[in-house]
Amino acid sequence: MLLVNPHSGKGQALSLFTGHVQRMLNEAGVPHTLVITERQNHARELVREADLSKWGALVIMSGDGLLFEVVNGLMEREDWEEAIQTPLGILPGGSGNALAASIHHYSGAQPVSSEELLVSCGFLLCKGLVSRMDLASVHLGSSPSNPTRLFSFLSLAWGFVADVDVESEKYRHVGAARFTMGTLVRLASLRVYKGRLAYLPVDEAKKREPMSANATLTGPPDSLLVPLDQPVPSDWVIVPEEDFVLMLAMYQSHLAKDLYAAPDSTLDDGLIHLIYVRAGISRTALLRLFLAMEKGTHLANNCPHLVYTRVRALRLEPYSSKGVITVDGEVVEYGPVQAQVHGGIARLITRL
**143/336 Cα distance (integer angstroms):** 10
Look up 64 and say whether it is catalytic. Answer: yes
**One of 64, 268, 269, 328 is an active-site residue; which one?**
64
| SS3 call for 248 | strand
Contact between 350 and 87 (Cβ < 8 Å): no
Nearest to 254 by CA among 103, 67, 102: 102
**157/149 Cα distance (integer angstroms):** 16
Give the contacts of 126 (CB within 8 A, at least 6 positions apart).
24, 25, 28, 30
**157/125 Cα distance (integer angstroms):** 29
Contact between 123 and 21 (Cβ < 8 Å): no
- β-bridge pairing 306-318 and 337-349: antiparallel
Burial 155-193, CB ≥16 within 10 A → b, else e:
bbbbbbbbbbbbbbeebbeebbebbbebbeebeeeeeeb
- Residues marked as catalytic: 64
